[in-house]
Each structure stands twice: as C-alpha cells, then as structure tokens.
C-alpha cells in the first residue's frame, strides 16, 4: 500500500479519501460489534466494548493500556507515539465513550443487535458514541501505517462512565492515570459535522426535598402532604429569572424538572417528596447565583405556607467552559471538513455537557466535533449515517496528519 510520505500536501487529501473510503466495511463492522456489547450505564460493563478495541489494537500492534477504577468499568487508551526525535512535539487526544444510556422502550428491533437499513447503522450507541469510536479506530489504523511521517503522539481513548459524569472515565484518566495532551477533539456533539463546540453552558443538577408528615388518607388534616407543598414551590421555580440570558454563541439558559418521587399508596399522606432539576446556565453566570435565587424562592414559599419545609441539595455542578475561537483545532477542523464534505462548520456553544469540560479545566485545548443527527442521541431506534462515519474518519485523519507532522 502507498505511504503518505510519498505524497505532497495537495495530494494527501486524495490519498486519505481513498484509504478511508476503502475502510467503510470495517468501520461498519466495528460499529456493529461495539453496539452489540451491552454497556448500558448503569451498570456500565464497558469492559465488554474494551475487549473489542483491545483485539483491534493487538491486530495492528498498537501499544495500549487498560485503566479500571472499578471492576468492569474499564477504559482503554491506545498510543501512536512518534516523539523520539522531537520529544516536545504535540500530543492529540481523541476520546469516545463506550457506555450508553439505557435502551428504553418501543424499539422496532433489539437495540443491542445492530442492524443496517438505508445506509444507516441502528442500535443503542450508534450515534452516541460507538459509531464515532469505530471511525476513529479506522483513523488509528491509517496513522499506524503512516507513522513514519508523524512527529508527535496520537492517543485514542475508549472511555467509561461519560453518561454519568465521567468519574470512572476521562476524569479518572487525566486526574489519576497520567493521560496528558496538548490538544483534544471530542466527537460527541453530533450536528452532522457542522458545529465546533468551543464553549459549553454550566450544568447544575439540584434535588429539592419537601418534608411533611405521614397520615391516613381519610384524615389528611392529621398530616402534612409533602407533594401539595412541593407544587407551589415548583411553580415558582418554573418562573426563575436568570441573571444572564444571552450570549453570542449560546441559546438562552434552561431549567428542566426531570423527576418527582413521592408517595406509596393513594390512602397515605406522603411525608416526603423529592424533585430533581437540570439547569443549564450561561458562561457569564454562576451556579452560586442560581442556587441563591432558588434558596430565596424556598424562603418565600416557606413564609407563605408555615407547614412547608424544604431542603436543597446540589447533586453536581459542572462550570461553564470555553476555548478561544481562533485556536488551531478550529482552523484545521474547518479546513478539512470543507475539503471532504464541502461545507465549513461554525464555532458555537453547546447546551449539553461533554468531557471537553474536564479537559479544558486541565489546561488542554479541547473542542467538540463529530457526525450524527442531534435528535438521535438517547432516542428510540437511534441510528447514524455510514457515509458520515466514513467522512468523519477522513476529516480526522487529515487533522491528525496536520497536527502531528
């Protein structure tokens, strides 16, 4: 097979296009294998997908390490390291997560038996994030065959626990396992490769507990109904006014009531009601502002209803993050996406949270970019275009060659 060393910069695009177009079947097969590995989080069991990646790395003699903070919650990290002559050459990290959200209901086929239909791969994780992992496995195959042209280090990580905060995944890898990089691309933002995630809203999860007094349902006046007291509080919180409501790269802040749990039977006055909120606030705002405003609402409701008593707990807070729009990754992603698919993606802000947050907080220049439809992630009958996965592999191979050569 021809080697990239023999090509000028102008011809490299055609070489990469041809090489990775020929990898379409392997990308499809790898995606299906990964989907068939049931890694619903919870419980995770990412080790099932790690074994597939491990076998692939071994077949190509790509050095790798497996890191496992908790049994079966495994991460795999593969390395193409060409820094012997240039020890200070850059390192590019690409991380795809191997866990998936629970399948849910109403699938037309088994969500953990991938199928192909009308040029798309179907199954839980096809779009979020196993299809992207399959594309990147084809990219590391390309880089391995052309590593004599590289001067830096490329790292491909298949990580655990992204759907539940990454404490056992990328956060663990960069905080405890010594995984380091200068640049990182996280292919977990979809938008059909038309968006580059350069900034993300803060993500604040809160739990409010309403405390009442249990009694017989036929004598409700003998108790304090925790649900009835919760209702006016939630109605008031629904009208929460954020301190910052606009940003040039973001949609407005949002508040979602994600769950309410209370009661055991219709003939019992419930003593406890718990509600959980998902709040996405803008980079110029803060979690402290939001929490303090909700605490003030709680005080108002308690003053109006003496029987009401509430506790507020912060489940998690991931602060907003941002990198400069003119960083090298944005330039290269735009350049090579234009050359492969004919359109130029735009830097934008994300409402969802990706692991770019953890990377940016560690001083790594990290952006999000990837294939897939925004509506597919976490959806019933989740799917992704095979053509997009192949085009994504071409783009990422060109970006990697530029950064590392």
* pLDDT tens per residue across span 301-325: 999 999 999 999 999 999 999 999 9
* pLDDT computed for residue 4 by the predictor: 53
Distance, in Å, from the CA atom of 233 to the CA atom of 317, rounded to the nearest integer, reads 22
Q: What are the residue boundaries of the structural domains of the chain, listed by start? A: 4-200+321-404, 202-318
Distances (CA, A) of 395 to 130, 193, 359, 371: 17, 10, 22, 11
* Sign for the pseudo-dihedral over CA of 104, 108, 111, 116: negative
Cβ-proximal residues to 291 (8 Å cutoff; 6+ apart), any chain? 204, 206, 312, 314
Read off the pLDDT of each residue in 378-393 and give the average, rounded to a whole number: 98
* pLDDT computed for residue 2 by the predictor: 45
* pLDDT tens per residue across span 14-50: 999 999 999 999 999 999 999 999 999 999 999 999 9
* pLDDT computed for residue 225 by the predictor: 98
Read off the pLDDT of each residue in 197-213 and give the average, rounded to a whole number: 97
* Maximum distance among all Cα pairs of the chain, rounded to whole angstroms: 86
Residue 364, both tokens: 């790594």
Packing angle of the helix pair 24-36, 131-145 (nearest 10 deg): 130
Radius of gyration, CA atoms only, the chain: 24
Residue 266, both tokens: 């219709």
Distance, in Å, from the CA atom of 259 to the CA atom of 236, rounded to the nearest integer, reads 17
Contact 77, 67 (CB under 8 A): yes
What does the DSSP assignment read for 108-153?
SS-TTS-EEETTEEESTTIIIIIHHHHHHHHHHHHHHHTGGG--SE
Read off the pLDDT of each residue in 163-169 and give the average, rounded to a whole number: 93
Contact 390, 353 (CB under 8 A): no
**Closest C-alpha among 189, 196, 202 to residue 354:** 189
Cβ-proximal residues to 280 (8 Å cutoff; 6+ apart), any chain? 201, 202, 203, 204, 253, 254, 255, 351
Lowest model confidence (mean pLDDT) among 6-20, 202-216, 257-271, 281-295: 6-20
> Which CATH number, 3.40.30.10, 3.40.50.300, 1.10.40.60, 3.40.630.10, labels domain 4-200+321-404?
3.40.630.10
Read off the pLDDT of each residue in 126-153 and give the average, rounded to a whole number: 96
Is pLDDT at 287 greater than 60 in this prediction? yes
* pLDDT computed for residue 88 by the predictor: 82
* pLDDT computed for residue 322 by the predictor: 94
Read off the pLDDT of each residue in 338-367 and give the average, rounded to a whole number: 94
What does the DSSP assignment read for 11-75?
HHHHHHHHHHHTTHHHHHHHHHHHHHS--BTTT--THHHHHHHHHHHHHHT--EEEEESSTT-EE
What is the percent of the chain with per-residue pLDDT over 70, rounded to a whole number? 98
Query: Phi first, then psi: what are they for 115, rounded to 5°?
Result: -140, 160
Distance, in Å, from the CA atom of 232 to the CA atom of 239, rounded to the nearest integer, reads 11
Is pLDDT at 9 greater than 80 in this prediction? no
* pLDDT computed for residue 5 by the predictor: 53
Is pLDDT at 290 greater than 90 in this prediction? yes
For domain 202-318, the CATH architecture is 2-Layer Sandwich (3.30)
Q: How confident is the model at residue 6 (pLDDT cuts 50, 70, 90)?
A: low
* pLDDT tens per residue across span 330-350: 999 999 999 999 999 999 999
Distance, in Å, from the CA atom of 57 to the CA atom of 55, rounded to the nearest integer, reads 6
Query: Phi first, then psi: what are they for 5, rounded to 5°?
Result: -60, -25
| Cis peptide upstream of residue 127 (ω within 30 degrees of 0) | no
Is pLDDT at 389 greater than 90 in this prediction? yes
* pLDDT computed for residue 86 by the predictor: 73
* pLDDT tens per residue across span 246-264: 999 999 999 999 999 999 9
What angle is formed at CA 247 by the lines to CA 199 and CA 127, rounded to 5 degrees? 40
Distances (CA, A) of 162 to 129, 249, 378: 10, 24, 13
* pLDDT computed for residue 1 by the predictor: 35
Is pLDDT at 164 greater than 60 in this prediction? yes
The percent of the chain in helix, strand and coil, each rounded to the nearest 5, is 40, 25, 35
* pLDDT computed for residue 7 by the predictor: 59
* pLDDT tens per residue across span 53-95: 999 999 999 999 999 999 999 999 999 998 876 778 999 999 9
What angle is formed at CA 156 by the lines to CA 95 and CA 195, rounded to 5 degrees? 45
Contact 229, 308 (CB under 8 A): yes
Contact 346, 311 (CB under 8 A): no
* pLDDT computed for residue 352 by the predictor: 86
Distance, in Å, from the CA atom of 83 to the CA atom of 67, rounded to the nearest integer, reads 23
The Cβ of residue 8 has, within 10 Å, a number of other Cβ atoms equal to 7
């Amino acid at each position: 097979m021809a080697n990239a060393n023999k090509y000028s910069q102008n011809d490299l695009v055609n070489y990469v296009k041809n090489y990775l177009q020929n990898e379409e079947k392997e990308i499809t097969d790898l995606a299906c294998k990964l989907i068939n590995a049931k890694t619903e989080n919870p419980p995770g069991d990412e080790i099932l997908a790690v074994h597939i990646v491990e076998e692939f790395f071994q077949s190509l003699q790509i050095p790798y390490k497996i890191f496992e903070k908790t049994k079966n919650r495994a991460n795999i990290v593969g390395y193409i390291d060409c820094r012997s002559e240039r020890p200070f050459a850059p390192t590019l990290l690409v991380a795809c997560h191997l866990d998936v959200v629970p399948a849910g209901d109403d699938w037309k086929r088994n969500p953990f038996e991938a199928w192909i239909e009308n040029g798309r791969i179907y199954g839980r994780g096809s779009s979020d994030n196993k299809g992207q992992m399959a594309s990147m496995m084809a990219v590391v195959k390309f880089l391995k065959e052309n590593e004599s042209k590289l001067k830096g280090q490329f790292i491909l990580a298949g990580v655990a626990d992204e759907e539940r905060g990454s404490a056992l995944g990328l956060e663990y890898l960069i905080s405890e396992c010594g995984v380091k990089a200068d640049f990182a691309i996280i292919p977990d933002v979809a938008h059909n490769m038309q968006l580059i995630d350069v900034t993300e809203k803060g993500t604040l999860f809160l739990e409010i507990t309403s405390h009442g007094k249990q009694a017989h349902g036929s004598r409700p006046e003998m108790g304090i109904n925790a649900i009835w007291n919760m209702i006016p509080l939630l109605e008031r919180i629904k009208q929460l006014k954020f301190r910052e409501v606009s940003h040039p790269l973001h949609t407005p802040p949002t508040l979602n009531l994600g769950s309410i749990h209370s009661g055991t039977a219709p003939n019992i006055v419930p003593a406890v009601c718990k509600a959980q909120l998902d709040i996405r606030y803008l980079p110029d705002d803060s979690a402290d502002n939001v929490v303090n405003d909700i605490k003030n609402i709680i005080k108002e409701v308690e003053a109006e209803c003496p029987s009401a008593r509430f506790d507020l707990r912060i489940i998690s807070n991931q602060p907003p993050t941002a990198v400069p729009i003119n960083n090298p990754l944005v330039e290269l992603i735009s350049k090579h996406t234009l050359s492969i698919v004919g359109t130029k993606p735009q830097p934008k802000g994300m409402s969802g949270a990706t692991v770019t947050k953890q990377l940016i907080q560690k001083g790594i220049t990290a952006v999000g970019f990837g294939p897939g439809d925004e509506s597919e992630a976490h959806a019933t009958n989740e799917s992704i275009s095979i053509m997009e996965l192949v085009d994504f592999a071409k783009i990422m191979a060109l970006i990697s060659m530029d950064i590392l050569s």
